[in-house]
Homo-oligomer: A and B are copies of this chain.
Amino acid sequence: MLMGKVVGTVVSTRKDEHLSGLRFLVVRELDHDMKETGRMVVAADSVGAGVDEVVLYAQGSAARQTYLSHERPVDAIIMAIVDEFEVGGDKLYVKD
């Protein structure tokens, strides 16, 4: 999985019929220092994530292993909201 910060949303009305009901969030990838890497992904959301939250997202076929995304044309899914991110003994992030 990669860690990212939800920064926005994508709205689409004309889309494949398998996608109805899914929310698409804009996620910017974070590195081990919680800095943005410059890469972005648009991910479906299985956990009710909101803008500014730090999340984990899975890519590839893993993205279809939730009830919401099963057999849908989705290659990235937010599957966890991060409470704590600890590296080298330091808590670099603790959710409010």
Contact = CB atoms under 8 A, between A and B. Distances in A.
Contact of A15 (B74, B80, B88): B80
A73 B77 CA distance: 8
B10 A85 contact: yes
Nearest to A57: B75
Interface in A62-96: 62-66, 69, 71-77, 79-88
A21 interface: no
Contacts of A66: 16, 18, 73
Contacts of A41: 1-2
Interface string A34-50: 00001011110011100
Given A11-B86, A60-B60, A65-B72, 12 more contacts: A3-B10, A10-B82, A11-B83, A13-B81, A14-B47, A15-B56, A24-B56, A26-B85, A59-B60, A62-B63, A62-B74, A64-B73
